[in-house]
Amino acid sequence: MKRLLALFFLINFFSACSWDDVPDGIIKQDEMINVLIDIHLADGYASVYYADSSRGTVDAMYRSVYKKYDTDSVQVRKSLQYYTRHPDKLQLMYEQVNDSLKRIDAEARAVDEKRFKAEQQKLKDSLMMKEELKRDSINKGFRIDTLPYWPFNKFIVKKDTTSRKRNMVAGPPADTLLRPARPLRKISAQ
């Protein structure tokens, strides 16, 4: 009987030991790394924007991550619980996640720096062009015309139009270059 009991405990002991097989319903380690990277990118996006304005966008991002990896939030949560019970696997996974996020951040910073340098160069070029125009001898003051502009866009009321019979409205002064001036008609109120 003692031998059977010892054999039973020995079989239970070896069956309880992990053979590094991931149970069913748990996301595989390589795929879980990619899921975690995308989830952390969505979390980073959500932390930058206001909670009210980004709520729908962040939910849509999570849904797209779940759809991309053909999973759902329940399976991701179960997988995280499984991997937290196996800290050695979780540590290795998060080292890879951290390296990938650092690489993505470095690439984004390089693109931003390149764009910033291009904008600075564009601004510098436009300032140099402005200085060239200032130094250009052709860029001198010029006269528009000798005719005044103000009388051509309004009428001058000579007298009050509401009280007397003999009211006059004067138009703009005649252009002496085109035709001779002629007198304006009197307008009477009836």
- What is the per-residue pLDDT for 60? 85
CA distances from 106 to 54, 96, 119, 144 (A): 24, 15, 20, 56
- Domain region containing 78: 22-170
> Which residues, in sequence order, are CB contacts of 160 under 8 Å at separation 6+?
167
| Rounded CA separation 97/117 (Å) | 30
- What is the per-residue pLDDT for 44? 85
Tell me if 180 is assigned to some domain: no
Tell me if 41 is assigned to some domain: yes
Tell me if 105 is assigned to some domain: yes
Tell me if 95 is assigned to some domain: yes
Tell me if 110 is assigned to some domain: yes
| Domain count within the chain | 1
- What is the per-residue pLDDT for 106? 93
Per-residue pLDDT tens digits for 62-96: 899 999 999 998 999 999 999 999 989 999 999 99
Mean pLDDT rounded to a whole number for the chain: 75
Per-residue pLDDT tens digits for 107-151: 999 999 999 998 888 888 877 777 766 665 555 555 555 555 555
Tell me if 139 is assigned to some domain: yes
Tell me if 62 is assigned to some domain: yes
Query: For the whole prediction, is pTM greater than 0.85?
Result: no
Tell me if 142 is assigned to some domain: yes
Which has more pLDDT, 136 or 29?
Answer: 29
